[in-house]
Amino acid sequence: MSRPALGAGRGPFRWTAYTLGVTAFGAGVPTPLYAVYESEYHFSSAVLAGIFAAYTIGVLGTTFLVAPLSDVIGRKPVLHVGMALTVASGLAFLFASGVATLALARVVSGLAVGATTSTATAAMTGLEPRGDQHHVARVSVAANFGGVASGILLSGLLLEYAPRPTVLVYLVLIAASAVGFLAVSRTPETVADRLAAPHVPRLSVPASCRRPFWVAAGALAACYSIYGFFGSLAPTFLRVDLGVGNAAAAAAAVAVMFGTASLIQLGLGQVRDRRALLFGLPLIGAATVAILAAILAASLPLLLLGALVLGAGVGFAYMGSVTLIDRTAPAALRGEVLAAFFVVGYLALAVPTIGIGVAADAVGLSAAAVGFGLGLAVWVAGLYLLTRRTPTPAGGEGRPRSAA
């Protein structure tokens, strides 16, 4: 006798969003702990950045090789794989004993995110009661940012106030993933007409949408490079350069950026595409100036203010870049254009982060962070001017916002 699905209406939709949030939670959990690992295993900022960037290998691998299987075998089996990989990443971090095993744990975490993100989003499209695709996009992005913020914050709290935090936080992750695995078992399958073979998307940008593509990809690159810095080196900077000794406070300073980006998706999701970029890019620029001033003045309050504004800017810019791509990519090539779009993003997650880590070993983390901030400010200023000169695409307004 088959078990009933989890609830009716939005229940299956919300539980599927939960699985997406759990993998993002797992990606955020190590962030406050990198300082502990760095002290215990005596590695440099460059090595720390490399450990963080190893995540990209896993994400790209399963995004292109595993996630497409959901069109053949169904969404639920791939989501089960994603939850199992999230458990495996928690176990890998639990038993990590050095640089190589930490990097391996990050790769497994990336595998989990790559298997889950696009598959869960596709499943949510089939489970959204009103068929509101824009609502699906907003909730999936909010679950990603919110999951990362939750993982960072809980990890910092446990690090400061709980015994054996590097064990306890991963036990929480494993338990949350087990709940996700069970939830997937009791949600409906959304693939009715399965393909005979998986379609692995190629990377393609047709001439008709190249200008808006590079506007959107440039904004995504800015968002992901910020993610890379805040998710890897920012806790070390807060501890060493700003003297923030409380791990929970340092985690909160990092989590506020991701949390604000998540809330923007849910609260102000009707500001989309080019309009969202024109709103978000100046916020990123202003926040970058505030954070640079905070670094030079060693001011934690100013840094917190900058992180808050930066989160709002990232939220708008991310929403704008994704919806701009959705509006301009030809329907027949949307998968290929999106594949190219996210490859740009994941490269921007890894390459600048490694560059900052190498620079930090040479000139110090504060100087490297200032250099990154100046480069980011120039990037978003140029991107803002390019966005202003890019015509607003026609159509694609979507349906009115509905409740999550």
End-to-end CA distance of the chain: 31
User: Residue 3: pLDDT above 60?
Assistant: no
Q: Could you tell me if 102 and 93 are in contact, meaning their C-beta atoms sit under 8 angstroms apart?
A: yes
User: Residue 122: pLDDT above 60?
Assistant: yes
pLDDT digits (tens, 9 = 90+) for 46-95: 999 999 999 999 999 888 888 788 888 888 999 999 999 999 999 999 99
Sequence ranges of the domains in the chain? 8-189, 204-393
Q: What percent of the chain has pLDDT over 90?
A: 55
* Alpha-carbon span 31 to 229, nearest angstrom: 10
Averaged pLDDT, 258-286: 87
Averaged pLDDT, 257-270: 86
pTM of whole model > 0.95?
no
Q: What is the pLDDT of residue 373?
A: 93
Q: What is the pLDDT of residue 4?
A: 41
Which string of DSSP letters, residue by residue, matches 258-289? HHHHHHHHHHSTTS-HHHHHHHHHHHHHHHHH
Give the fold, CATH level 3, of 204-393. Growth Hormone; Chain: A; (1.20.1250)
Confidence of residue 273 (pLDDT cuts 50, 70, 90): confident
On average, the pLDDT of the chain sits at 87
* Alpha-carbon span 322 to 214, nearest angstrom: 12
pLDDT digits (tens, 9 = 90+) for 362-371: 999 889 999 9
Q: What percent of the chain has pLDDT over 70?
A: 93
389 SS3 class: coil
Site of tokens 């950045």:
49
pLDDT digits (tens, 9 = 90+) for 321-380: 988 887 788 877 777 888 888 889 999 999 999 999 999 999 998 899 999 999 999 999
Q: What is the pLDDT of residue 385?
A: 95
Q: Is 204-393 in the same CATH topology as 8-189?
A: yes
| Range 9-13 contact pairs with CB under 8 angstroms and sequence separation of 24 or more | 9/129, 10/129, 10/403, 10/404, 12/127, 12/187, 12/188, 13/124, 13/127, 13/128, 13/129, 13/139
Q: Could you tell me if 348 and 228 are in contact, meaning their C-beta atoms sit under 8 angstroms apart?
A: yes
Q: Spell out the CATH class of 8-189.
A: mainly alpha
Q: CB-hemisphere CA count at 13 Å for 53?
A: 24
DSSP-based helix, strand, coil % in the chain, nearest 5: 80, 0, 20
Q: What is the pLDDT of residue 274?
A: 83
Produce one character per residue of 142-156: b if its CB has 16 or more CB atoms within 10 Å, e if not.
Answer: bbbbbbbbbbbbbbb
Q: What is the pLDDT of residue 399?
A: 34
Q: What is the pLDDT of residue 163?
A: 93
pLDDT digits (tens, 9 = 90+) for 280-294: 999 999 999 999 998
Least confident of 99-113, 144-158, 181-195: 181-195
User: Residue 217: pLDDT above 50?
Assistant: yes
User: Residue 9: pLDDT above 70?
Assistant: no
Confidence of residue 1 (pLDDT cuts 50, 70, 90): very low
User: Residue 301: pLDDT above 80?
Assistant: yes
Q: Could you tell me if 113 and 28 are in contact, meaning their C-beta atoms sit under 8 angstroms apart?
A: no
Q: What is the pLDDT of residue 257?
A: 94
User: Residue 244: pLDDT above 50?
Assistant: yes
pLDDT digits (tens, 9 = 90+) for 153-182: 999 999 999 999 999 999 999 999 999 999
User: Residue 395: pLDDT above 80?
Assistant: no
